[in-house]
Structure 1
């Protein structure tokens, strides 16, 4: 089955899209303190070694538990080792995860049901950054999301509202065919924001370190030989302690990030977007 057929059509529209308004630099902010950082769960970090460098993806089981478990399973099988980035569009995304390196293959596991949206309750962790009419934008961990208005919680049977990921730079999504429930093994990493994918593709995490590597991957549809590759893919928890990198990420629920949101909103004005917010990370 050919994967990403809808994305191919959407990508063609990129050339016709108007250029984004230029913004000045965000005012300098004090460096995060020790209290502003958090250490991601090693079971939720995918470490992708490529011939261009290393990429860290923090998985988001709250958004897409089935897809996250599939990523863990295939990673631990070694399924992704040696796979090429066979389709890479400069202002869009980098696609990989196909054993055929063509877009037509998948694993021996069954296709998955779509997880385009999820339900959010009042007790669930959520960091709001903007209200946009009848919806609210914020973060679940490192993933930017949009939700229905919290006022609707009182009107629903489960006291929850619908939320969905925003496909900002670094967001990791599952490729699929024309059928919504056809995602299997292929995935893509966003190089730039692409709102047209919202509620049409499943997001399962976000790059927290190595976005510059994603943007350095050779482009093409398909990519001409030699293609850049994922040389080895592991879960952070499975890397031997002696060689395991130490990763920490600024907590989006902390005061440093709140100050950054305020600065970015003041800088951008009406053009403010969660996609413009940067989440610092450190790897040692």
Structure 2
């Protein structure tokens, strides 16, 4: 069965509607990289203590025909899906697979060995991990705290959770949280069965809140969103690409030889600079502020992309 996002998902599950599909069809294929610049560099003299190094075992290195994408995997929110991504990368499963479905202003999908949307790995389907449990020890840093619950970041991932006050009322002293589908967020495709994700995944080109709590979030691109937005797009409502770009190699950073291993440092959301950045964006956006407007600065060093 086709792993949606496919035509049915665009028309129904995702509630894009006719206008959204028409936009994808009528607008010429284009990169939207200019709409969101690369992550900003922090001010000169930002101390080393304000950077957080992404653990190598949680850094997925995706080399493509358009460049390199670095995804921070977040096991705190989707341990089963993160372990599946590690397993498939270590089996070289993703190497030379197509970005078979790409819709501008939406997302780019891959991970299908058939390249049609109908394929998957030989491993069993996964149980959905649409939400996670957040406790006092979870490294969550709020940006805003509306009535429904705080919104902020868990590592580099934008998330929303129930309020801390509810922790005292639950048996595990934790509350529900969920990843937010901002640009760069990585999720798992599935069919109508919530527990049908397997190997196909997607990375958002733009924000799409209709997906929140309906598709498992497992990571976020900390570098390479411009690459995601440069991938060849489909020209009809399905988004299937006639001349797709490829993933040439996908590896967990910790599995790469030291000379080939990139290091990604992201602004630490526990730092004063993070609070300053959030306030700057809130002041600039006013009532239109969204956590998706906050782009965490990143530094990438080392590593040689696969040929």
Same-fold call, TM cutoff 0.5: yes
Identify the range of structure 1 (151-160 vs 170-179) with the bigger mean alpha-carbon deviation: 151-160
Distance apart, 1:212 and its partner CA: 0.2
Q: Which residue of 2 aligns with 1:149?
A: 163
Q: Distance in 1 between matches of 2:10 and 2:142?
A: 32
Change (3 A) 1:195 1:141: same
Which residue is equivalent to 2:243?
226
Measured in 2, the distance between the counterparts of 1:203 and 1:218 equals: 23
Query: Shift of the alpha carbon at 1:28?
Result: 10
Q: 1:80 aligns with which of 88, 94, 108?
A: 94
Q: Residue 118 of structure 2 aligns with which residue? A: 104
- 1:46·1:234 contact (CA, 8 Å) conserved in 2? yes
Tell me how far apart the structure 2 counterparts of residues 14 and 253 of structure 1 sit (CA, whole Å). 42
**Distance in 2 separating the partners of 1:266 and 1:186:** 39
> Alpha-carbon deviation of 1:114?
0.2
In the TM superposition, what is the alpha-carbon distance from 1:88 to its structure 2 partner?
Answer: 0.4
SS at 2:176 equivalent: strand
Shift of 1:223: 3.6
What is the RMSD computed on CA atoms of the aligned residues? 2.1
What is the SS of the residue equivalent to 2:16? helix
> Which runs of 5 or more structure 1 residues have no equivalent in the other structure?
18-22
Secondary structure of 2:219's aligned partner: strand
- SS of the residue 1:154 aligns to: helix
CA contact (8 A) 1:11 1:92 kept: no
Q: Kindly state the Cα deviation for residue 225 of structure 1 after the two structures are TM-superposed.
A: 3.2
Report the alpha carbon displacement of residue 16 of structure 1 after superposing the two structures with TM.
4.8
For 2:43, the equivalent position in structure 1 comes to 30
Shift of 1:55: 0.3
C-alpha distance in 2 between matches for 1:11 and 1:226: 27
Distance, in Å, in 2 between the alignment partners of 1:164 and 1:70 is 19
Count of matched residue positions in the alignment of Structure 1 and Structure 2: 278
CA contact (8 A) 2:41 2:298 kept: no
Given candidates 190, 196, 215, the residue that maps to 1:176 is 190
Match of 2:2 in 1: 2
**Among 256, 259, 273, the residue aligned to 1:239:** 256
Aligned to 2:142: 128
Please give the secondary structure, in 2, of the residue aligned with 1:248.
Answer: strand
- Please give the alpha-carbon distance, in whole angstroms, between the structure 2 residues aligned to 1:37 and 1:271: 28
SS of residue paired to 2:273: helix
Unaligned segments of structure 2, at least 5 residues: 22-34, 302-307
- Pair 1:12-2:16 in alignment: yes
Q: Deviation digits for residues 232-260 of structure 1, max 9, x if unmatched?
A: 11111111112222322211221111110
User: Which position in structure 2 is the counterpart of 1:20?
Assistant: none
How far the C-alpha of 1:29 sits from its partner, in A, is: 6.6
How far, CA to CA, are the matches of 1:266 and 1:178 in structure 2?
41
Is residue 193 from structure 1 mapped to residue 207 from structure 2 by the alignment? yes
Residue 228 of structure 2: SS of its match in structure 1? helix
| 2:73–2:82 CA contact under 8 A, matched in 1 | yes
How far apart are residue 153 of structure 1 and its match? 1.1
Q: Aligned equivalents of 1:112 and 1:52: distance in 2?
A: 30
CA 1:33 to 1:14, structure 2 compared with 1: closer, same or farther past 3 Å?
farther
TM-score normalised by structure 2 residue count: 0.86
Aligned to 2:66: 52
